[in-house]
């Protein structure tokens, strides 16, 4: 039995006690951009209920064109007004460099990715970088509350990164 | 009090009963790519525990270069082997077109985004499109289990999209 099949069986149990549907726009008007790290259950970490916030996640919790796309849709079409960025301690993105990663892919496949791997050496600096990519972008209209945090995987605590 | 501050207060309660840290690599060796929709609590929908799966999310649950980047890192550096894609009913991406959305941004800001908005008109077709973007990409090495689903926001049920 694959893990996918096992998780589908879990879904049957979830659906059996499901009470929906909820409205499409996020009730708390907030969008979260977080790392894909398996240890960050964003809803639990922030005490969110279903229907309350958009949750955008990727390797590192970084901001690339795809996060700008998602945030533009979130704010312009679905009315979110605050943005919360979450990086975390013990992040895999701290363990390699773009050059190394892309070289290893090129050596194996013969092709070098045209994208940046977005590895980083300093957590707080990268949170500030992610904030800057949002505040400096013309397509995300609401920038009054764009705040960045580091989640400590040992304690569960979010600590704000000051500009 | 902002919503961000309210969620930070929730985090203090979460951290007070936190038991960590868990290992960095996902215990179930699976990566999920899902829509950012507020109603999809991926951990609950799939019965996932913290530490078990990478969770990648964006507007639509589509696959662009940034999801390929995240999946390449997930598989190559952190050992995931299965991919689960989740789109859903009542998705905002079904309600507009790329041309309309980018025109509205251009009219307001004077600048047209260079990226695609990735709107789509047919849910199942877009799940297949997302699967195809992964299976056709050289940078994601493990493609034995790339399966796509539609989450029904009225019932909580995941239904597989057949190729």
Residue B49: pLDDT above 90?
yes
> In this complex, do A7 and B48 lie within 8 Å of one another by their Cβ atoms?
yes
Q: What is the pLDDT of residue A128?
A: 98
**Interface check A11 vs B, CB under 8 A:** yes
Cα of first residue to Cα of last residue in chain B, in angstroms, is: 48
B105-159 residue pLDDT tens:
999 999 999 999 999 999 999 999 999 999 999 999 999 999 999 999 999 999 9
User: Where does the pLDDT of residue A74 fall: very low under 50, low under 70, confident under 90, or very high at 90 and above?
Assistant: very high
**Which chain A residues contact residue B85 at CB under 8 A?**
none
The verdict on ipTM greater than 0.90 is yes
Tell me the three state secondary structure of residue B150. Answer: strand
Q: What is the pLDDT of residue B1?
A: 86
Residue A130: pLDDT above 90?
yes
Q: What radius of gyration do chain A's Cα atoms show?
A: 18
- CA-nearest residue of chain A to B91? A24
**Interface check A124 vs B, CB under 8 A:** no
Q: How far is Cα A65 from Cα A54, in angstroms, rounded to an integer?
A: 17
Residue A163: pLDDT above 90?
no
Query: B105 and B112 in contact (C-beta within 8 Å)?
Result: yes
Q: How far is Cα B42 from Cα B55, in angstroms, rounded to an integer?
A: 8
Residues with Cβ within 8 Å of residue A28, at least 6 apart in sequence: A48, A52, A53, B3, B6, B7
Q: List the single residue in A65, A96, A139 with the smallest CB-CB distance to B105.
A: A139
Estimate the share of chain B in helix, then strand, then coil, as percent rounded to the nearest 5: 40, 20, 45
Query: B63 and B134 in contact (C-beta within 8 Å)?
Result: yes
Length of chain A as a residue count: 163
**What mean pLDDT, rounded, does chain B reach?**
98
> How many interchain CB pairs under 8 A, A with B?
267
Q: Are strands A82-88 and A30-35 parallel, antiparallel or unpaired?
A: parallel
DSSP conformational letter for A37: -
Q: Does an H or E element contain A128, and which?
A: helix A123-135
Residue B3: pLDDT above 90?
yes
B135-144 residue pLDDT tens:
999 999 999 9
For residue A91, count CB atoms less than 10 angstroms from its CB and return exposed for 0-12, middle for 13-18, buried for 19 or more. buried
A14-37 residue pLDDT tens:
999 999 899 999 999 999 999 999
Return the CATH number of A21-161, one of 3.40.50.720, 1.20.120.80, 3.40.930.10, 3.40.1050.10. Answer: 3.40.1050.10
Q: What is the pLDDT of residue A49?
A: 98
Q: Which CATH architecture has domain B29-160?
A: 3-Layer(aba) Sandwich (3.40)
Residue A1: pLDDT above 90?
no
Q: How far is Cα B98 from Cα B120, in angstroms, rounded to an integer?
A: 8
Closest CA to B137 of B66, B56, B61: B66
Residue A76 CB neighbour total at 10 angstroms: 18
Q: List the single residue in A47, A74, A113 with the smallest CB-CB distance to B11.
A: A47
Q: How far is Cα B138 from Cα B92, in angstroms, rounded to an integer?
A: 30
Residues with Cβ within 8 Å of residue B160, at least 6 apart in sequence: A8, B147, B148, B149
A5-19 residue pLDDT tens:
999 999 999 999 999
> In this complex, do A7 and B117 lie within 8 Å of one another by their Cβ atoms?
no
* Cα B130 off chain centre by: 11
Q: What is the mean pLDDT of residues A49-61?
A: 98
Residue B163: pLDDT above 90?
no
Listed by start position, the domains of chain A span 21-161
**Interface check B162 vs A, CB under 8 A:** no
Give me the percent of chain A exceeding a pLDDT of 90. 98
């Amino acid at each position: 039995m694959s893990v996918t099949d096992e998780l589908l069986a879990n879904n049957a149990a979830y659906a059996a006690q499901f009470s929906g549907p909820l409205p499409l726009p996020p009730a708390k008007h907030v969008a979260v951009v977080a790392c894909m790290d398996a240890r960050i259950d964003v809803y639990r970490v922030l005490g969110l209920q279903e229907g309350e916030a958009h949750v955008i996640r990727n390797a590192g919790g970084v901001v690339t064109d795809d996060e700008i796309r998602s945030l533009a849709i979130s704010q312009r079409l679905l009315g979110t007004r605050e943005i919360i960025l979450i990086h975390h301690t013990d992040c895999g993105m701290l363990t390699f460099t773009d050059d190394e990663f892309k070289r290893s892919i090129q050596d194996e496949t013969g092709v070098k990715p045209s994208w940046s791997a977005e590895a980083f050496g300093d957590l707080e600096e990268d949170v500030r970088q992610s904030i800057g990519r949002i505040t400096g972008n013309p397509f995300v209209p609401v920038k009054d509350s764009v705040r960045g945090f580091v989640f400590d995987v040992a304690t569960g605590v979010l600590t704000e990164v000051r500009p």
